[in-house]
Amino acid sequence: MLCVGGSEADFTVLGDALRSAGQIELYRGGPDDATAAVSGRTVDLILLDLALPANEIVRVLQTAAPGGGARSRVPVIVIARPGSEDRVETCLQHGAEEVIAAPLDPNRKLAIARRVTLCLQRRWLRESTVKLQARGGRLDETAVIELYANASNRFVPREFLEHLGRKSLTDVRLGDHVEREMTVLFTDIRDFTALSETLTPQQNFDFLNSYLRQVTPIVRARHGFVDKYIGDAIMALFPRNAGDALQAAVELQRQVARYNVGRNRAGYVPVEIGIGLHRGSLILGTIGEEERMQTTVISDAVNVASRIEGLTKVFGVSLLIGGSVIDGLDVAELERHRLRNLGDVKAKGKTRSVEIFECYDNDDDELRSHKDKTAESFAAAMDEFRRGMFLTAGRIFARIANQEPRDTVAAHFRDSCTLSAVRERGKGPWDGAERIEVP
């Protein structure tokens, strides 16, 4: 649930009331957060304070209950203060379902929770009941189709069906496939196994759903779609251009930082993530057999994106990008982001190397300033490293790492230039690509 506007005191009373009713997922945001949450289908109910400007109230209502709310996308409860009776009437006409008087009374938490619960139950009843209406002895098939389409879109992305040229899941056939060039985003939570071992199964599910509600809407907002969830990992596809995927990755990092503020306040351990991006040709299609099939994506680009995400642990950074993504950025996008070329990397067992870049847009000010100032020296050291001049490269990387101990990338290459590391590579020809075993 999302509380839009209102006082801190009212928000506290709401939180206490809903926790007592078992409804603990209450967040606070503005009108933009509300419209994004409705569009991204990440919120079950909106509590809208009528002290907001009239145009913002209308905008939220039009998004949540288009057409007046007969089939509202998300129910809205308005929080009304004395003297706002006219606004209440207008909001009810535009789709609001319930009214709660403010300031909220901390001694009436049960009444508040009951109104919210009943509003949610009405929504769930609408979604779970097939609205078959008699029309001259005929059934209203439109309602059935709408209900089925909404349900199936929760399991198979609408965008996936569109790329296959199918209107709904019922039209999909085994073997349907299409080839497209897209950017693949992989992200997962660092040390999730250790974290999950401290939680009960129910707490694991609650945590994952809470986290995914925070980050998934960002993918949709940047014209991508989630292909699948793999435990704590997300695999998303961006059909339009590489810039969409990179901007989504940067915004995803920022959203996780905001999410961690709330976790810290609640006494929970903050989460850290790694993100890998790669762009290439891939095949979207269906595999399996007639009685049990599933949609899938087959491409080396998917494997590479996953390996690049794994390399974030090796380099100690949170966002790495394949060279094919950089090639897909226009000049303005290249200037907008802070990037460092980390050379060519060849995962063990692979014959082809991949050029990777670090994006450090979201480093703190001090670390970001360090990387900006040492950009030329770092690039010069990378050139020496690629040529096999490890002694020279190591000295430069060491100077950069000594200036800022948190520059884990410079420290990694410094250590890769030591005599022991060079000996481990053997006496064969050096092709400029570092061989790394991805965790």
Amino acid in position 1: M
Per-residue pLDDT band at 70 (split at 50, 70, 90)? very low
For residue 294, the model assigns a pLDDT of: 74
Separation CA 32–CA 75 (nearest Å): 17
Domain boundaries, given as residue ranges, for the chain = 2-128, 173-362, 373-439
Q: Which residue has the higher pLDDT, 276 or 221?
A: 276
**Residue showing tokens 């606070």:** 28
Mean predicted lDDT score pLDDT of the chain: 83
* Residue-wise pLDDT tens digits, 334-363: 999 999 999 999 876 667 889 999 999 999
For residue 83, the model assigns a pLDDT of: 82
Separation CA 357–CA 379 (nearest Å): 12
Q: Do 228 and 217 form a contact (C-beta atoms < 8 A)? A: no
Q: Do 31 and 64 form a contact (C-beta atoms < 8 A)? A: no
Please give the CATH topology (third level) of the domain spanning 2-128.
Rossmann fold (3.40.50)
- For the entire predicted model, the pTM comes to 0.67
Give Cβ neighbours of residue 224 (< 8 Å, ≥ 6 apart): 185, 236, 237, 238, 239, 244, 245, 248
Alpha helices in 52-191 (DSSP H): 54-64, 85-93, 109-128, 141-153, 158-164
Biggest alpha carbon–alpha carbon distance for the chain: 87
Judged by average pLDDT, the poorest of 63-77, 83-97, 213-227, 315-329 is: 63-77
CATH of domain 173-362: 3.30.70.1230
For residue 169, the model assigns a pLDDT of: 64
For residue 419, the model assigns a pLDDT of: 84
Q: Which residue has the higher pLDDT, 201 or 326?
A: 326
- pLDDT of residue 86 exceeding 60, the answer is yes
Q: Do 227 and 205 form a contact (C-beta atoms < 8 A)? A: no
Alpha helices in 282-418 (DSSP H): 300-315, 323-327, 331-336, 365-373, 375-387, 390-403, 408-416
DSSP-derived secondary structure letter, 170: G
For residue 69, the model assigns a pLDDT of: 45
Q: Do 31 and 60 form a contact (C-beta atoms < 8 A)? A: yes
21 phi and psi angles, rounded to 5 deg: -95, 5
Q: Which residue has the higher pLDDT, 387 or 435?
A: 387
Q: Do 58 and 94 form a contact (C-beta atoms < 8 A)? A: yes
For residue 111, the model assigns a pLDDT of: 80
For residue 136, the model assigns a pLDDT of: 47
Separation CA 427–CA 406 (nearest Å): 32
Judged by average pLDDT, the poorest of 68-82, 161-175, 273-287 is: 161-175
For residue 171, the model assigns a pLDDT of: 64
User: Which range has highest mean pLDDT (82-91, 138-147, 403-412)?
Assistant: 403-412
Q: Which residue has the higher pLDDT, 1 or 358?
A: 358
Q: Which residue has the higher pLDDT, 22 or 390?
A: 390
For residue 149, the model assigns a pLDDT of: 54
Question: Mean pLDDT over residues 312-338, rounded?
Answer: 94
- pLDDT of residue 385 exceeding 70, the answer is yes
- pLDDT of residue 153 exceeding 50, the answer is yes
Q: Which residue has the higher pLDDT, 303 or 18?
A: 303
For residue 139, the model assigns a pLDDT of: 47
110 phi and psi angles, rounded to 5 deg: -65, -40
Q: Do 19 and 117 form a contact (C-beta atoms < 8 A)? A: no
For residue 82, the model assigns a pLDDT of: 85
Question: Mean pLDDT over residues 207-236, rounded?
Answer: 87
**Residue showing tokens 């996780």:** 256
The crossing angle, in degrees rounded to 10, of helices 408-416 and 390-403 is 150
Separation CA 67–CA 122 (nearest Å): 18
- pLDDT of residue 313 exceeding 90, the answer is yes
Amino acid in position 15: G
- pLDDT of residue 412 exceeding 60, the answer is yes
Give Cβ neighbours of residue 41 (< 8 Å, ≥ 6 apart): 154
CA 390, 393, 395, 399 torsion-angle sign: negative
Residue 260's closest CA among 345, 185, 181, 362?
362
